[in-house]
Amino acid sequence: MTIEQRAPGEFSPASIFDVADRAGVSPSTVSRALRGLPNVAPATRERVARAAHELFYVASPAASGLASGRTTTVGIVVPFLSRWFFMRVVQGAEEVIRAAGYDVLLHNLGDAAGRERFFDRLPLNRKVDGIVLVDVTVQPHEQARLQALGVPVTVVGGDALGVGAVGIDDAAGVRMAVRHLVHLGHRDIGMLGGDAATGLNFAVPGRRRTTFLGAIAEAGLVTKPEWVVSSDWGIEGGARATERLLSSRRVPTALFAESDEVAFGALRTLRLAGLDVPRRMSVIGFDDHEMASVVNLTTVAQPVDAQGAAAARLLIHAMLGHADPFARLALPTQLVIRGSTAPPSGAGGSRRSPAVTH
């Protein structure tokens, strides 16, 4: 009696061995074919799919894991789920991961205590075949903990030794922004940054500030210490940082914001202070956030989704043993000129600071 001829009470699910027998292949080939993995001939893949359909076969993730030692799941670890950059990286990675036949297990660190718990307890242990860490700079003791998991790890935007990494050339992007302002004729340039003291060990704030100061020096310029201001990351932080900068006796003619979200806050504060952008103050950001074009912000664009996708591809290839698990890839940045930057107006550069009204 075939499965199609069984009465409802006699039905029992087909196994992977039934599918393999009907398709004339091994069970491992059935598994690879149904998961969309490479090295399966198209004709074989079609034959397996047809056999699975005829037998009403549904693969059991638990059974697959017991048989192969794999979970067919990839973990993605992010510091914050609510921030634009992290959401876009996850989106890019998830599309690649799911297309390869894997599920995604998302883990949010949230704060310094969450990060400590993650590396102490390793909640993804035996639950994933690989991990994508997003913007997490791994410390030596954390590196040892990750290695204990025994699965490939890829980092997006963070600093880590001994794992695959995808990111951008931050230094090149910052220099691009500074050179744009210098080329326009600005000599007094300030910087707004996110606060690195979050307990999550972000590498970007310190790296971009160091590069900014170096690029200013390379241009033969000097920026005042009070023109380099950090606050909380995001729009509100950018607004507060700009308020502090405008409280200086003299203010710059241009601002480089470490991220577009910080720049959005700067634009709001400058508008409230009656400072026209770009006639009285030029502003340039970093990211090319989806709202950057709405507010006409000049920015250094980075391919955020593409970083997530590239990290996922590196990780999957490493899990399958087809690529260097320690590969490092830097994607290019691009200057996008909009209406928030222009040559400084008037002579003398710096101006006295205006009052900020709320």
Domains of the chain from N-terminus onward: 14-68 (1.10.260.40), 73-168+304-331 (3.40.50.2300), 170-302+336-352 (3.40.50.2300)
What confidence score (pLDDT) does residue 198 get?
53
What confidence score (pLDDT) does residue 2 get?
36
What confidence score (pLDDT) does residue 76 get?
96
Helix (H, G, I), strand (E, B) or coil at 154: strand
What confidence score (pLDDT) does residue 213 get?
96
- 75 has which bridge partners? 105, 131
What confidence score (pLDDT) does residue 301 get?
97
Contacts of 21 (CB under 8 A, 6+ apart): none
What confidence score (pLDDT) does residue 217 get?
96
Of the candidates 290, 254, 234, 266, the one whose C-alpha atom is nearest the C-alpha of residue 177 is: 254
- How far from chain centre, in Å, is Cα 41? 34
**Residue segments in the chain with a per-residue pLDDT below the cut of 50:** 1-12, 61-63, 66-67, 347-349, 351, 354-358
Which amino acid appears at position 46 of this protein?
Answer: E
What confidence score (pLDDT) does residue 200 get?
54
Query: Distance between CA atoms of 299 and 294, rounded to whole angstroms?
Result: 12
Give the tokens for residue 316: 């999957």
Q: What is the pTM of this model?
A: 0.76
Give the tokens for residue 232: 């909380």
Helix (H, G, I), strand (E, B) or coil at 284: strand
Q: Which helix (H) or strand (E) holds 120?
A: helix 112-121
Give the tokens for residue 80: 């914050």
Number of residues that this document lists for the chain: 358
Contacts of 36 (CB under 8 A, 6+ apart): 99, 100, 101
Query: Distance between CA atoms of 227 and 252, rounded to whole angstroms?
Result: 7
Of the candidates 329, 287, 330, the one whose C-alpha atom is nearest the C-alpha of residue 194 is: 287
Query: Distance between CA atoms of 143 and 148, rounded to whole angstroms?
Result: 9
